[in-house]
Amino acid sequence: MRLIFLGAPGSGKGTQAKRLAKKYGCEHISSGDLLRQAIRDRTPLGLKAQHFMNAGELVPDDVVLGMIKEELTKTYRCFIFDGFPRTGAQAEGLDKILDELGMRISMVISLEVSDALIIERLAFRRLCSKCGHEYNLKTRLPKSENICDFCNGELQQRHDDDADIVKNRLLVYHEKTKPIEDFYRSRGLLVEIDGSKNIDDVFDAITKVVDNGK
């Protein structure tokens, strides 16, 4: 199984991709997580990416494609992309990389969520500073205020979940990422799923299409 998750920031891609990866024993490849790790490790890649991410802009295609190519040389049997590709050039670049490796994408799942709900979800999103577990101050509260249920880490808001940066991330999403749905639709790979429901319902809808091969 080689899947791509498409959807706006805050559409639930990360949550669902992680859960699906666990269920099917696949590798979860989040471009955002890889870039944040590179920033924490102060690698040359992290240094190139940091100011784009802080502004809610996309990191340049060649930088992201280089990072993904390196990741795929780890020869994963099955994988789920989360947050990649985000532009037409990345989608085409991914095709080339997969061709070289003799692989193909089996399905592209697009999580459909309105902008209004995205803005609300991201305003209330908090992440554990230690283990990264995700909470929502309205719908998924921790047992103790601001403390992670699993590791006692402190909860924090992601810098780019700030309201002004979210507006920019949504603009970038509509302009650059949404159009690549057509690229995959024309190949019969795209499946659209309502991502506005609760996490379990969305997960059930996803596993149904994955198990049926659509």
169 classed as catalytic = yes
Report, in Å, the least distance between residue 4 CB and ligand AMP. 11
Window 30 to 69, contacts with ligand AMP (CB under 6 A): 31-32, 35, 52-53, 56-59, 64
Phi/psi for 62 (5° steps) reads -65, -35
Report, in Å, the least distance between residue 85 CB and ligand AMP. 6
Q: Which of 48, 86, 126, 176 is catalytic?
A: 86
Window 140 to 179, contacts with ligand AMP (CB under 6 A): 160, 169
| 180 is an interface residue for ligand AMP by CB under 6 A | no
| 76 is an interface residue for ligand AMP by CB under 6 A | no
Beta strand spans in the chain (E):
2-7, 27-30, 79-82, 107-112, 125-128, 134-136, 155-156, 190-194
Report, in Å, the least distance between residue 35 CB and ligand AMP. 5
158 classed as catalytic = yes
For ligand AMP, the closer of residues 56 and 203 by Cβ is 56
Query: Per-residue b/e over 44-78, b at no fewer than 16 CB within 10 Å?
Result: ebbebbbeebeebbbbebebbbebbeebbeeeeee
- How many angstroms separate the CA atoms of 140 and 148, rounded? 11
Is the bond preceding 142 in cis, omega lying within 30 degrees of 0? no
Kindly determine how many residues on this chain lie close enough to bind ligand AMP according to the rule CB under 6 A. 17
- How many angstroms separate the CA atoms of 35 and 37, rounded? 5
| 93 is an interface residue for ligand AMP by CB under 6 A | no
187 classed as catalytic = no
Positions annotated as catalytic residues are 13, 86, 125, 158, 169
